[in-house]
């Protein structure tokens, strides 16, 4: 009897784990042969490859296809290789693809994922509606003094590692961005620059560290979504720490804006205005008009926004800025041009890193853009079909509701069809005279369309200010242990990292 039960269980598991595997075959879409339960995503489940690495492999394996089939577990997904289809998904037909689909259960969403990045539908739209003004030019200028203060501290800390055999610039820039986000988001001096083992630096690392528990939880939620809908993707201690952090700040301010003009103040001001009210992106009245929906800005929702602002704010910027330093170390001719520009611009601004000064650093911006092309911090985008059926007219392919579409940004950025010598670091491809040659929707470091990165300009200004602060006084070069092409971190989830960091030798500049 026991043997019969085992056989029945195994057969049931097999049938469950293969029930969708004819999805792309029926539609004539090329794809790798899926493995029962795991689909074509086994290596990512085993933490041997990040999702970005998997998407890049698929992209490169089928060079003649506009789209390629994929199975994350048993869920069919579509990897898009064509810029016109990418434009359609992100912009033209955005109303059918407004969800990212990171929350498999719309009714069961863990608290910290109710943020502007992970949220879908009306929750996302209402949050985005209120938060977009927080990143206006005026707001950026008002908070730039925080960037300046942290950039000056960064120079002091860099002095301490000058002439060491090597120092991990990935960690150096992460300490800078963590410190900035601490002040900008919470009004707290996190002191990550003076103490690389600070509590907040550890918290930041934990957000993007994928431990065994996290890998198992993530895999189970994808492979058995109904059984695991109440399982949290994020670790309990991370949730507890973020709640404690935000609650402490709120209590210290008596739940009222403090005049610091930081992110917590912004959310408290939003709450004072009452419920967020707007037109629904999901629900329609009988006459076809959008229903009016509302959202309460409670403590948990505020914590979720603070969580993503903290995590995304330091991680993506530190990755982008440190990889820029890495590339400049291997290309001293470009580093020299960047440094000469920084010197010239700062001389006009009394050697102060102001908002206007950074805006004038065009060659630095070109080097930053090129680094983001070669190694975008967020290396893939996901959008989910939100209507019962949708037909992609370019290829006459119909997909169903909840099917996710993946856009492999990193792979597109390194495709020779769109970028000459794509593996070569060349900032001048973004020169005013040549950048117009770059085709639309093939350069997407901040995404595109209504769900593009709301904090893109803040992240870029923070990164460029940090780079200018370092390169004004110091030069970088490869150390004995530096790898020219660093290996991507296979446990990466949303943001990309590097195996072993980015060790470089930092020297004090000898100016004439």
CATH at 284: 1.10.630.10
453 assigned ligand-binding residue: yes
Under the banding of pLDDT at 50, 70 and 90, the label for residue 273 is confident
Q: Which residue has the higher pLDDT, 255 or 356?
A: 356
Averaged confidence pLDDT in the chain: 87
- The set of residues, in sequence order, having a beta carbon less than 8 Å from that of 400 and lying 6+ positions away, is 385, 388, 389
Distances in Å between the Cα of 248 and the Cα atoms of 180, 243, 254, 303 are 19, 8, 10, 11
3-state secondary structure of 282: strand
Write the pLDDT tens digit of every residue in 374-390: 999 889 999 999 999 99
pLDDT at 193 over 50: no
**Going edge to edge, which strands form the sheet with 67-72?**
67-72, 75-80, 404-407, 381-384
3-state secondary structure of 89: helix
Dist. CA 470–CA 158, nearest whole Å: 7
Q: Which residue has the higher pLDDT, 111 or 92?
A: 92
DSSP string of 208-268? Answer: H---HHHHHHHHHHHHSTTTTTTS-SS-HHHHHHHHHHHHHHHHHTTTS--SS-SHHHHHH
The stretch 154-165 carries a mean pLDDT of 90
Q: Which two tokens stand for residue 438?
A: 């770059």
The stretch 448-454 carries a mean pLDDT of 92
Lowest mean pLDDT among 105-119, 214-228, 384-398: 214-228
- The set of residues, in sequence order, having a beta carbon less than 8 Å from that of 120 and lying 6+ positions away, is 98, 99, 100, 101, 102, 103, 106, 384
Dist. CA 462–CA 362, nearest whole Å: 15
pLDDT at 192 over 50: no
Closest CA to 405 of 395, 417, 414, 419: 395
The percent of residues in the chain predicted with pLDDT above 70, rounded, is 90
Q: Which residue has the higher pLDDT, 51 or 205?
A: 51
Closest CA to 175 of 160, 165, 1: 160
Three-state helix/strand/coil letters over 124-170: HHHHHHHHHHHHCHHHHHHHHHHHHHHHHHHHHHHHHHCCCCCEEHH
Distances in Å between the Cα of 140 and the Cα atoms of 190, 250, 445 are 21, 23, 20
Dist. CA 390–CA 93, nearest whole Å: 10
Q: Which residue has the higher pLDDT, 146 or 234?
A: 146
pLDDT at 512 over 50: yes
DSSP string of 30-46? Answer: --PPPBTTTBT-HHHHT
Lowest mean pLDDT among 230-234, 251-255, 443-447: 230-234
Taking the CA of residue 193 as centre, how many other CA atoms within 13 Å lie in the half-sphere pointing to its CB? 23
Lowest mean pLDDT among 15-29, 302-316, 474-488: 302-316
Dist. CA 403–CA 386, nearest whole Å: 8
- The set of residues, in sequence order, having a beta carbon less than 8 Å from that of 421 and lying 6+ positions away, is none
The stretch 489-503 carries a mean pLDDT of 85
C-alpha 361: how far from chain center: 24
Highest mean pLDDT of the ranges 25-34, 179-188, 249-258:
25-34
Lowest mean pLDDT among 60-69, 73-82, 264-273: 264-273
The stretch 298-319 carries a mean pLDDT of 84
pLDDT at 298 over 80: yes
Number of domains, the chain: 1
Lowest mean pLDDT among 59-63, 103-107, 349-353: 103-107
- DSSP state, residue 178: H
Domain that holds residue 84: 2-508
pLDDT at 313 over 60: yes
pTM: 0.89
Highest mean pLDDT of the ranges 286-290, 327-331, 457-461:
327-331
For residues 39 and 75, the answer to whether their CB atoms sit within 8 Å is: yes
- β-strands 389-392, 397-400 pairing: antiparallel
The percent of residues in the chain predicted with pLDDT above 90, rounded, is 48
DSSP string of 445-504? Answer: TT--STTS-TTHHHHHHHHHHHHHHHHHHEEEEE-TT--SSPPBPTT-SSB--BTT--EE
pLDDT at 196 over 70: no
Under the banding of pLDDT at 50, 70 and 90, the label for residue 435 is low
Lowest mean pLDDT among 79-88, 202-211, 348-357: 202-211
The stretch 249-257 carries a mean pLDDT of 86
The stretch 351-373 carries a mean pLDDT of 95
Dist. CA 440–CA 443, nearest whole Å: 7
Length of the chain: 512
For residues 495 and 320, the answer to whether their CB atoms sit within 8 Å is: no
pLDDT at 246 over 90: no
Closest CA to 106 of 84, 121, 94: 121
Q: Which two tokens stand for residue 485?
A: 């092409």
- The set of residues, in sequence order, having a beta carbon less than 8 Å from that of 113 and lying 6+ positions away, is 102, 103, 119, 233, 234, 304
pLDDT at 286: 83
Closest CA to 36 of 77, 71, 78: 71
pLDDT at 471 over 90: yes
């Amino acid at each position: 009897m026991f043997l019969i039960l085992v056989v029945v269980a195994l057969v049931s598991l097999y049938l469950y784990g293969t029930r969708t595997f004819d999805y792309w075959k029926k539609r004539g879409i090329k794809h790798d042969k899926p493995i029962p339960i795991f689909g074509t995503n086994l290596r990512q489940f085993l933490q041997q490859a990040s999702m970005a690495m998997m998407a890049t492999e698929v992209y490169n394996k089928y060079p003649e296809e506009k789209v390629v089939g994929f199975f994350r577990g048993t869920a069919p997904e579509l990897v898009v290789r064509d810029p016109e289809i990418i434009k359609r998904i992100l912009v033209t037909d955005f109303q059918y693809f407004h969800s990212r689909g990171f929350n498999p259960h719309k009714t069961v969403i863990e608290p910290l994922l109710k943020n502007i990045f992970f949220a879908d539908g009306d929750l996302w739209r209402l949050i985005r509606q209120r938060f977009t003004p927080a990143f206006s030019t005026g707001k950026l200028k008002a908070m730039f003094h925080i960037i300046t203060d942290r950039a000056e501290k960064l120079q002091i800390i860099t002095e301490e590692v000058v002439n060491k055999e090597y120092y991990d610039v990935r960690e150096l820039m992460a300490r800078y961005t963590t410190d900035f986000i601490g002040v900008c988001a919470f009004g707290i001096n996190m002191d990550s620059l003076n103490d690389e083992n600070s509590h907040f630096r550890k918290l930041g690392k934990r957000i993007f560290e994928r431990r065994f528990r996290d890998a198992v939880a993530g895999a189970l939620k994808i492979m058995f979504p109904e059984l695991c809908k109440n399982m949290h993707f994020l670790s309990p201690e991370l949730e507890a720490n973020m709640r404690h952090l935000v609650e402490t700040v709120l209590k210290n301010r008596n739940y009222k804006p403090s005049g610091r003009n930081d992110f917590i103040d912004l959310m408290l001001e939003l709450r004072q205005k009452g419920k967020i009210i707007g037109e629904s992106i999901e629900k329609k009245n009988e006459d076809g008009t959008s229903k009016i929906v509302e959202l309460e800005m409670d403590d948990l929702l505020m914590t979720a926004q603070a969580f993503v602002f903290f995590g995304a704010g330091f991680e993506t910027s530190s990755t982008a800025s440190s990889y820029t330093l890495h590339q400049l170390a291997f290309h001293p001719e470009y580093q020299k041009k960047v440094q000469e520009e920084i010197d010239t611009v700062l001389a006009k601004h009394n050697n102060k890193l102001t908002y206007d000064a950074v805006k004038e650093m065009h060659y630095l911006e070109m080097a930053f853009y090129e680094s983001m092309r070669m190694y975008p911090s967020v290396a893939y985008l996901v959008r989910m079909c939100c209507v019962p059926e949708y037909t992609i007219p370019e290829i006459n392919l119909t997909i169903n509701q909840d099917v996710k579409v993946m856009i492999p940004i990193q792979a597109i950025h390194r495709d020779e069809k769109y970028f000459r010598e794509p593996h070569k670091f060349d900032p001048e491809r973004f020169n005013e005279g040549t950048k117009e040659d770059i085709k639309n929707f093939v350069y997407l470091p901040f995404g595109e369309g209504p769900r593009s990165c709301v904090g893109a300009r803040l992240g870029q200004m923070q990164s460029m200010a940090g780079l200018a602060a370092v390169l004004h006084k110091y030069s970088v070069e490869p150390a004995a242990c530096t790898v020219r092409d660093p290996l991507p971190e296979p446990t990466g989830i949303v943001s990309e990292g590097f195996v072993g960091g980015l060790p470089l030798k930092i020297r004090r500049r000898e100016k004439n």
